[in-house]
Amino acid sequence: MERRNEKWRRGSILSMIILIVLASQVSTGPRRKARNLGLTEPLFEIFGMLDEYITRFKYRGGEPEPNLIERFYPGEVKFADRFESLLGTHADLAGLKKDWTRKIGKQGHIGFYSRDWSAMLNSFYIKVNNTVATLDMKIFTAATENEMLRFLRGAYERFGAEDKSSNILMYNAPFKTETIGLVLKKLGCRDVAVFWLGGMPASYQVHFNPSSVVPKNLGITRIVLKPGYFPEHWTIYKTIN
pLDDT of res. 36:
53
Q: Quick count: other Cβ atoms within 10 Å of Cβ 24?
A: 11
Q: Which residues pair with 71 in a beta bridge?
A: 111
pLDDT of res. 27:
33
Residues 6+ apart with CB under 8 A from 216: none
Q: What is the pLDDT of residues 102-156, one digit of tens each?
A: 999 999 999 999 999 999 999 999 888 877 888 999 999 999 999 999 999 999 9
Map out the domains of the chain with their CATH numbers.
38-239 (3.10.28.10)
pLDDT of res. 211:
95
SS3 99: coil
For residue 204, which of 224, 188, 181 has the smallest C-alpha distance? 181
- DSSP H or E run through 102: strand 101-104
- Cα 36 to Cα 44: distance, rounded to the nearest angstrom: 15
Tell me the percentage of the chain whose pLDDT exceeds 70. Answer: 81
Average pLDDT over residues 50-73: 79
- Cα 68 to Cα 113: distance, rounded to the nearest angstrom: 5
**DSSP-derived secondary structure for 12-54:** HHHHHHHHHHHHHHHHHHHHHHHHHTT--HHHHHHHHH---SS
Indicate whether 15 pLDDT > 80: no
- Cα 232 to Cα 219: distance, rounded to the nearest angstrom: 28
Lowest mean pLDDT among 40-49, 80-89, 213-222: 213-222
Q: What is the pLDDT of residues 172-210, one digit of tens each?
A: 999 999 999 999 999 999 999 999 999 989 999 999 999
What are the b/e assignments for 183-198, b being 16+ CB within 10 Å? bbeebebeebbbbbbe
Say whether pTM exceeds 0.85: no
Instruction: Write the single-letter amino acid at 111.
Output: G
